[in-house]
A and B are shown apart, each in its own frame.
Chain A
Amino acid sequence: MYMTNSKDLEKLERKQEKNKKQRRKFVKKWAEYVKNNPDKDWSKQQKTVVEQ
Chain B
Amino acid sequence: MRLDSGSLVLDKELSDLDLKVLEFSQLLEELEVDYVIVSGYVAILTGRSRGTEDVDFLISPETFDKQKFDEILEEGYWAVDATEKSEVEERMDDDLSIRLAEEGEVIPNFELFYPATSYDRKSLEDKITVNFEAEERKLFISPIELQISYKLYLGSEKDFEDALHLYTVFKDEINDQKLQKTSKQMNVHDKFKRLRET
Contacts and interface: CB of A to CB of B under 8 A. Distances in A.
A23 B46 CA distance: 19
Contact of B168 (A35, A42, A43, A52): A35
Given A20-B157, A47-B15, A35 B169 contact: yes
Q: Main SS of the interface on chain B?
A: loop
Contacts, number: 77
Contact of A50 (B1, B15, B165): B15
Contacts of A45: 49
27 contacts: A23-B157, A23-B161, A24-B198, A25-B198, A27-B48, A27-B168, A28-B168, A28-B198, A31-B47, A31-B165, A31-B169, A34-B46, A34-B169, A35-B168, A39-B10, A39-B11, A39-B133, A43-B12, A45-B49, A47-B13, A47-B15, A49-B50, A50-B16, A50-B51, A51-B15, A51-B17, A51-B51
Interface of A: 20, 23-25, 27-28, 30-32, 34-35, 38-40, 42-47, 49-52
